[in-house]
Amino acid sequence: MSGERHPALDGWQTDGGELLVGGVPLSRLAARVGQTPFFAYDRARLTARVDELRRVLPAGLHLHYAVKANPMAAVVQHLAGLVDGFDVASAGEMTTALDTPMAADRISFAGPGKTDAELEQAIAAGIVLHLESEGEMARAAAIAEVQGRRPRVAIRVNPDFELKASGMKMGGGPQQFGVDAERVPQMLGELAKMDLDFAGFHLFAGSQNLRADILMDTQAKIVDLAIALAAHAPAPVTHLNIGGGFGIPYFPKDQRLDLGPVGDHLAELAARVAGELPEATLITELGRYIVGEAGVYVTRVVDRKESRGQVFLVCDGGLNHHLAASGNFGQVIRRNYPVAVGTRMDGAVETASVVGCLCTPLDLLADRAELPRADVGDLVVIFQSGAYGPSASPAAFLGHPPAAEVLV
Ligand X SMILES: *Cc1c(COP(=O)(O)O)cnc(C)c1O
* Cα distance between residue 288 and residue 388, in whole Å: 8
Q: What residue number has its CB nearest to ligand X?
A: 287
244 touches ligand X (CB under 6 A): yes
Distance in Å, CB of 267 to ligand X, minimum: 21
- Beta-strand pair 18-21/24-25: antiparallel
270-329 residues near ligand X, rule: CB under 6 A: 285-289
87 binds ligand X (CB under 6 A): yes
Shortest approach of ligand X to residue 293 CB, angstroms? Answer: 12
**CB 99: neighbour CB atoms within 10 A?**
12
Nearer to ligand X, 12 or 65 (CB): 65
Nearer to ligand X, 178 or 342 (CB): 178
**Quick check: 93 binds ligand X (CB under 6 A)?**
no
Among 207, 218, 299, 343, binds ligand X (CB under 6 A): 207
Per CB under 6 A, which region of 200-208, 272-280, 302-310, 338-346 contacts ligand X?
Answer: 200-208
Closer residue to ligand X, CB minimum distance, 158 or 353: 158
Q: How far is CA 57 from CA 54, 233, 260, 344, in A?
A: 5, 28, 8, 38
Ordered DSSP codes for 311-342? EEEEES--TTT-TGGGT-SS-SS--PPPEEET
Q: Which is nearer to ligand X, 159 or 287 (CB)?
A: 287
CA distances from 203 to 132, 171, 221 (A): 11, 8, 10
Site residues for ligand X, window 46-85 (CB under 6 A)? 66, 68-69
Q: Which is nearer to ligand X, 121 or 158 (CB)?
A: 158
**φ and ψ at 399, to 5 degrees?**
75, 20
Q: Which stretch binds ligand X (CB under 6 A): 6-14, 204-212, 306-314, 348-356?
A: 204-212
Nearer to ligand X, 122 or 369 (CB): 122
> Binding residue for ligand X (CB under 6 A) from 358, 387, 406, 408?
387
Q: Cα(278)–Cα(64) distance, rounded to whole angstroms?
A: 20
Q: How many of the chain's residues bind ligand X (CB under 6 A)?
A: 16
H/E stretch holding 147 reads helix 134-147
Q: Is 208 in the site for ligand X (CB under 6 A)?
A: yes
> CA-to-CA distance for 51 and 236, rounded, in angstroms?
31
Q: Shortest distance, CB of residue 29 to ligand X, whole angstroms? A: 25
Do the Cβ atoms of 295 and 309 come closer than 8 Å?
Answer: no
In sequence order, what are the beta bridge partners of 297?
A: 39, 382
DSSP code at position 188: H
Interface contacts to ligand X, rule CB under 6 A: 66, 68-69, 87, 110, 170, 204, 207-208, 244, 285-289, 387
